[in-house]
């Protein structure tokens, strides 16, 4: 993978399913969690042009649109995100509700650009089963300062 640990919010080592939802939603340390592959990243704030969070969902077991991922990026000045939590953006493609990535939209890659003056960043992903399998596979969330071609 072309990203080092300093840029990986969720490493794709664990399948994102309804059963693993709590692990992905609650990263609270810069030490990578073995049960989810998720970590809080110390970015010490962004430059004015910000960073991009890139969510890669390589597959899905079904196309039931009642199954979806509710996904967003959070920032904080506290590593454990205990009381200082700010949402800076939501992942979605063409969903009717912002922040929902529908099962039928996967596989996909979603880029979310954000800027912050906060020190820490984490991805918060919660899969919801509406009758299907709600297994989105080895989802990754990466940070990049260069997600777009500069002309």
Residue 118 lies in a domain: yes
Residue 116 lies in a domain: yes
| Total domains, the chain | 1
pLDDT digits (tens, 9 = 90+) for 7-57: 999 999 988 888 777 777 778 999 998 888 999 999 998 988 899 999 999
CA–CA gap between residue 138 and residue 17 (Å, rounded): 9
CATH number at residue 77: 2.60.120
Residue 151 lies in a domain: no
CA–CA gap between residue 132 and residue 147 (Å, rounded): 33
- Give the start-end residues of each E strand in the chain: 8-11, 41-42, 51-57, 68-76, 86-90, 100-102, 108-114, 120-128, 140-144
CA–CA gap between residue 100 and residue 102 (Å, rounded): 6
Residue 87 lies in a domain: yes
1 falls in which pLDDT band (50, 70, 90)?
very low
Q: What is the pTM of this model?
A: 0.89
pLDDT digits (tens, 9 = 90+) for 44-83: 989 888 999 999 998 766 667 788 889 999 999 999 999 8
The whole domain housing 78 covers 5-144
CA–CA gap between residue 52 and residue 25 (Å, rounded): 19
Residue 71 lies in a domain: yes
Enumerate residues 6+ apart whose C-beta is below 8 A from 55. Answer: 71, 91, 101, 109, 110, 111, 112, 123, 125, 139, 140, 141
Residue 131 has pLDDT above 80, yes or no: no
Residue 102 lies in a domain: yes
Residue 150 lies in a domain: no
Q: Which residue has the tokens 């506290």?
A: 78
Structural tokens at position 18 = 């309804």
Residue 149 lies in a domain: no
């Amino acid at each position: 993978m072309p990203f080092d640990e300093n840029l990986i919010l969720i490493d794709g080592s664990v399948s994102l399913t309804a059963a693993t939802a709590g692990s992905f939603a609650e990263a609270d340390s810069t030490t990578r969690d073995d049960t989810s592959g998720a970590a809080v990243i110390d970015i010490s704030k962004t430059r004015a042009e910000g960073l991009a969070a890139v969510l890669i969902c390589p597959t899905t077991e079904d196309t039931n649109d009642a199954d979806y991922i509710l996904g967003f990026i959070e920032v904080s000045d506290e590593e454990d995100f205990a009381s200082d939590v700010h949402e800076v953006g939501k992942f979605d493609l063409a969903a009717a509700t912002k922040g929902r990535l529908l099962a039928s939209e996967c596989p996909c890659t979603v880029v979310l650009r954000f800027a912050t003056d906060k020190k820490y960043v984490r991805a918060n992903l919660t899969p919801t089963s509406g009758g299907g399998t709600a297994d989105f596979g080895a989802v990754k969330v990466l940070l990049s300062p260069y997600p777009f071609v500069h002309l």
